[in-house]
Structure 1
Amino acid sequence: MDSSAHPEARAETRVLREATDRLLAAVGKLDDKAVAEPSLLPGWTRGHLLTHLSRNADALVNVLQGRSMYASGEAREADINAGASRGAAEQLADLRAGADRLESVMDALTTEQWGATVELRNGVTDSASAIPFRRLVEVELHHVDLGVGYSVDQLPGAFTDRAVEYLARRFSGRADVPALQLRAEDGRSWTTGAEPAAGVARRIVVGTPGALVGWLSGRTPGSGLTADASLPALPPL
């Protein structure tokens, strides 16, 4: 990749590599018993979670190379289940190899390719330049889900600042999410959820970006947030 032609992409991939390295270091401390134990995601062991992260990297390679992200939803689930019982060393090697493959493909993209529209799951489209941050969300939040001492409170501020906007956009316009205005304590704000009825104000939820990300992503029940009404239950991402 010509770094002078697309410095933003180079910066994004560098941040992703740093987060991936933190994850790999944490996974490297797990033994076979720990990998087989439950993660913080209901119904998934750490092995399920690590396999998902590995296959997600491969899926994003597919996206960037113009192929379907997954062969099907059933194939995606089958791959995760098939790999979940592997031991710690195999999980770590697979996770590292998948991350390296994705990084290699991103490094080879031209400026024109970074600006292309790509298709993700369920017909969702985005710019190729958004893929590094999408992967970063997977890496950071699933690092928390491993339950190995990395918490929402430890997510980097530069990440949570962007993740609030990203997650708010994911819920924007959804009829199953009330009309919300999210406010950071420094005055920044984002709107999400359904459009409010005429004359009806959005519910206001206030907190740090980290606290907002924890709640929006389903990793906390809303710890550290204040609201002018009860916090609604959000659908899973």
Structure 2
Amino acid sequence: MMDHAHDLGAVHEATDRLLNEAGKWDNAALAEPSRLPGWSRGHVLAHLSRNADALGNVLRGRPMYASSETRDADIETGSARPLAEQLADFEASAGRFAAVADEPADWSRTVTLRNGVTDSASRVPFRRLIELEIHHVDLDTGYELEDLPAEFTEREIAFLTERFSGHPDVPATTVTAEDGRTWTTGGGSDGPAVSVRGTAAGLLGWLAGRRDGSALTVTGGALPALPPL
């Protein structure tokens, strides 16, 4: 069961971590490439600011974004702002999300995200946490998948294996961390059952599309190619 209050606390901590890191930059560092193809660090920060507002919209029962085109344009326009503007926007949008989350609400209700995806409102704070933690790694400033909180890594692996469960292009796959924790995913294709084993960070990197999986041990077939997130 989701504990939205616990996750909101983790969101606050992840926000502070990222703000402390970005506060060390200058405008030149902001303009440097991130690990996401075609995106600078400025693009990543602009996306995170707009995502905070978008998830606030979700909690209030509004469309997440006015449109995909508006979302993309806002990120592109926002990416070129000076560092001081980016940080102020990031902090202000985080505050707006926190304020919405503090409003009395039924956290068991169903909410609608992008592309008609629905979920429990109680999972929205964790979705924000995913954005903050994974994109902090994407900024390429020394914060790596291995540095993520262990609880987050385990929960994100569970979230992603659940997401790919039954996917028609993913064979039945057992995912096992070095400490023995096991998850299952796929099962929607006719391919042979596959076993994938590795460090928790390595498994998360593969599942989240941040690593190619070459460091993982695969038996029963080839490493499954996962759909884009």
What is the TM-score of this pair, normalised by structure 1? 0.91
Deviation at 1:173, TM superposition (A): 2.0
Please name the residue that 1:88 is paired with.
83
> Alignment partner of 1:114: what SS?
coil
Deviation at 1:230, TM superposition (A): 2.9
Structure 1 segments of 4 or more deviating over 4 A? none
- For 2:189 and 2:164, the matched residues in 1 are separated by 14
- For 1:201 and 1:184, the matched residues in 2 are separated by 21
Letter in 2 for 1:105: V
Kept in 2, the 8 Å contact 1:211–1:223? The answer is: no
Please name the residue that 2:170 is paired with.
177
Kept in 2, the 8 Å contact 1:47–1:84? The answer is: yes
Please name the residue that 2:226 is paired with.
234
Aligned residues between the structures:
228
Deviation at 1:104, TM superposition (A): 1.1
- For 2:201 and 2:102, the matched residues in 1 are separated by 30
For 1:20-39, what aligned pairs fall within 5 Å after superposition? 20-39=15-34
For 1:1-237, what aligned pairs fall within 5 Å after superposition? 8-110=3-105, 113-197=106-190, 201-222=192-213, 224-228=215-219, 229-237=221-229
> Alignment partner of 1:227: what SS?
strand
Percentage identity across paired residues of the two chains: 57
Kept in 1, the 8 Å contact 2:169–2:189? The answer is: no
Letter in 1 for 2:196: V
- For 1:8 and 1:194, the matched residues in 2 are separated by 29
Deviation at 1:150, TM superposition (A): 0.5
Letter in 2 for 1:220: R
Root-mean-square deviation (CA, aligned residues, Å) is 1.7
- For 2:104 and 2:192, the matched residues in 1 are separated by 45
What is the TM-score of this pair, normalised by structure 2? 0.94
- For 2:214 and 2:141, the matched residues in 1 are separated by 20
Kept in 1, the 8 Å contact 2:172–2:189? The answer is: yes
Letter in 2 for 1:119: T
Kept in 2, the 8 Å contact 1:19–1:136? The answer is: yes
- For 2:189 and 2:47, the matched residues in 1 are separated by 37
Kept in 1, the 8 Å contact 2:171–2:192? The answer is: no
Deviation at 1:223, TM superposition (A): 5.0
Consecutive unaligned residues in structure 1, runs of 5 or more: 1-6
Deviation at 1:196, TM superposition (A): 5.0
- For 1:45 and 1:185, the matched residues in 2 are separated by 34
- For 2:132 and 2:210, the matched residues in 1 are separated by 14
> Alignment partner of 2:86: what SS?
helix
- For 2:3 and 2:168, the matched residues in 1 are separated by 34
- For 1:9 and 1:116, the matched residues in 2 are separated by 13
Deviation at 1:177, TM superposition (A): 2.4
